[in-house]
Amino acid sequence: MKKRFPLIAAVLLVLAAAAWIAINRNEGPKPTVVGICQFDQHESLDAATKGFKDALTEKMGDNVTFREQNAQGDHSTCTAIINALVAEDVDLILANSTTALQTAATATTKIPILGTSITGYDTALQLDSADSRENNISGTSDLAPLSEQAAMIQELFPNAENIGLLYCSSELNSQYQADRIQTELGALGYTCRFYTFSDSNDIASVTLTAAANSDVIYIPTDNMAAANAELIGNVCIPAKVPVITAEENTCRICGVATLSIDYYELGYTTGEMAAYILLDGADISEMPIEYPKHFTKKYNAEICQTLGITVPQDYVKLD
């Protein structure tokens, strides 16, 4: 037994020396690495990313490092970004938009994935229901109540007859919203027609056709439309055709009114979810999809004035 004491003491001295060297070299636990893939560049997605980073930084400080990239609306770039994050084996991925979520879900079933700016997870991932999603996926939805959006159209344009539904055909969540609001508007007596574009090259011609055949145009939360809202406005405003949008940043450019959510707040909620996973060890498979709790009817004063539209007093003017 006495012979063991020098050996034990030596081991303890070696461990103590290693700890001292690590401390003096500023070697501590490696910072958590969070990958962010934002599919496109527009204000709503930008605000969601900022909210996410702010929330997670508040919780984790310098212990979190972000690998943030923007695919600029390009699918192959989005795939490359996600594959690089998976190859690095980051601790968590934020997929900002439907395309980013779909790409991340295909790339990994191991790394936790939080989505934001997603309308419906079951539609985006082509599942039977949101509850049947992969065990490594959760996040937040930007879906505003479609029944209330339809009611807003009726409130503002009770004498309209034809509603054009304008969106990108490759965005599954846009198709979901268009199908749902068609049912809501049909119940209110409106006739709806779909006008879809496949990429930015089609938008002008499709919007011209929609404006020529519609009393009002509705745009869902659609990334392609949001990124090209100025082009849509350049068609619809001179044609005197009002546009109702599902999110406020598109409305700022080409719309008259929107039932709005706060995308910064949406991203912030997603960041809080990330903190629960990374700091508290929460099981992402048991985390329900979070939905917005506050909706505000907002209007674009400049476009309303140009088109001669008066909104009710409970509408808030867009900044």
Per-residue pLDDT band at 260 (split at 50, 70, 90): confident
Residues 17-71: tens digit of each pLDDT? 444 444 444 455 678 999 999 999 988 899 999 999 999 999 999 999 999 999 9
> Hey, where are the domains in the chain?
32-142+262-286, 146-260+296-317
Which residue has better confidence, 8 or 192? 192
pLDDT above 60: residue 84: yes
pLDDT above 50: residue 227: yes
Per-residue pLDDT band at 13 (split at 50, 70, 90): very low
Residue 120: the pLDDT is: 87
Residues 233-252: tens digit of each pLDDT? 999 999 999 999 999 989 99
Tokens found for residue 110: 């191991």
Residues 139-171: tens digit of each pLDDT? 999 988 999 999 999 999 999 999 999 999 988
Residue 253: the pLDDT is: 96
Tokens found for residue 34: 């969070």
Provide, rounded to the nearest whole percent, the portion of the chain with pLDDT above 70: 89
Predicted structure pTM score = 0.78
What are the start-end ranges of the H helices in the chain?
4-24, 43-60, 75-88, 98-107, 121-124, 146-156, 172-187, 203-213, 223-227, 229-236, 248-254, 263-278, 301-307
Residue 131: the pLDDT is: 52
Residue 14: the pLDDT is: 41
Which CATH class for the 146-260+296-317 domain? alpha beta
The yes-or-no answer to whether 32-142+262-286 and 146-260+296-317 have a common fold is yes
CA distance 314 to 216: 21
Which candidate, 293, 219, 222, places its Cα nearest to that of 261? 293
| Mean of the per-residue pLDDT values of the chain | 90
Give the mean pLDDT of 67-94: 97
Query: Topology of domain 32-142+262-286, per CATH?
Result: Rossmann fold (3.40.50)
Greatest CA span in the chain, whole angstroms? 99
pLDDT above 70: residue 12: no
pLDDT above 60: residue 129: no
